[in-house]
Every structure is written in structure tokens, then in C-alpha cells.
Amino acid sequence: MKLIIGLGNPGKKYEQTWHNVGFLAVEKIKKDKEFPEFKDSKKFKAEICEETEIKEKIILAKPTTFMNNSGQAAKALIKFYKIEPQDLWVVHDDIDLPIGKIRISQNASAAGHKGVQSIIEELGTQGFVRFRIGIQPENPGRVPTEKYVLQKIDEADKINQSLNNTATAIDLALMNGVSEAMNEFN
């Protein structure tokens, strides 16, 4: 069983913002794989959908907490489904990667990402897999990070390519393992 959590902020105000590329990625996976619609679960503090693919259950989740409390949803889902940390895959934005790039990491620190830090704190481990989607502006530092991540995405072509690459990387990881996906995409 794999739990794939896309990080973002709930609500219309935050749709299509840089900080919500994790949500966009799991929505793309849901669409590509023709999974059922997301359903809001107050119990898990997330919207979830699940499907069995290649003899393995896949759960997609979008926390309904704000980014900085993403760990609450991750912890509730992991406890209920009895998922091991290495079977938690977190998809999120990364301000340190150029737009259009993705990186896969495992057992890594939060590197300043408050959503990832929340998950590490709630789970007491950083032993999960991360699919990081680059959102770095062309001129870093011109706009404070806290403001930039909440701006609307203005590089749709590059982000769409990143989302396609992320979905492909996750497919490869599901079929052949995370190491192979890292070799292909890092």
C-alpha cells in the first residue's frame, strides 16, 4: 500500500498558486489513472481517493489543514491504514529547485519547508519519500518567499511539464521502485 500526499493549502484563494503544486500533482495522478473523485474526510483532515492498481492499494490525499499543519493528516492516515514511513510519498513545491525540475529524495530533512517539517514532527521520522517540484523564480529574492509561494502560477507550460514528469516518476517508482525513479529523474 502506498499513501501519496500532495501538499498545498485548501480553498479557492490558493488554487493555482505555487505552494499548491503538490495538490495539482495528485490531481493529475487521479485523472491519469482514472481514480474515483476525492472525498472530504474530516476523520483524516484530508480529501482522499483510493484505488487498487497492480495488486497494490494507492491512496491519494490532499490535506484540508493549511500547509504548516500537513502532518496532522499524514499521521491520521498512516495510523489508520498502518502504513510504514517508506510507503508515504509526499509531493510538494521546492523553492530551491528551478521551475520545471523535479527531484526525488528519501530520509531527508525538511530544508525549511514547513509542510514537510510538520509531517516530520508528527511522525517522528523523516524516513518517507519526497517528490519535490521546483518553483524557484527567475530572480530569487525579489519577492519574499512567503509571498511568492502564494502567488498564482505564471509559468503554466513549465509547471505542466513538471506535473507530467512527477506523475511519470511516481508511476516508475510504483512499478520498479523508488531507486529506479531517482536514477531516471534526479
Q: What is the DSSP letter of 126?
A: -
Instruction: Give the whole-angstrom CA distance, residue 42 versus residue 19.
Output: 22
Are 5 and 77 contacting, i.e. CB atoms less than 8 angstroms apart?
yes
Residue 19 a catalytic site member: yes
- Provide the CB-side half-sphere exposure for 6 (13 A, CA): 29
Please give the grid coordinates belonging to residue 32: 491519469
Please give the grid coordinates belonging to residue 125: 521520522
User: Which candidate in 2, 19, 62, 130 is catalytic?
Assistant: 19
Instruction: Give the whole-angstrom CA distance, residue 29 versus residue 22.
Output: 11
Distances (CA, A) of 121 to 98, 112, 124, 132, 156: 27, 13, 5, 19, 33
Instruction: Give the whole-angstrom CA distance, residue 174 versus residue 2.
Output: 8
Which residues does the annotation mark as catalytic? 19
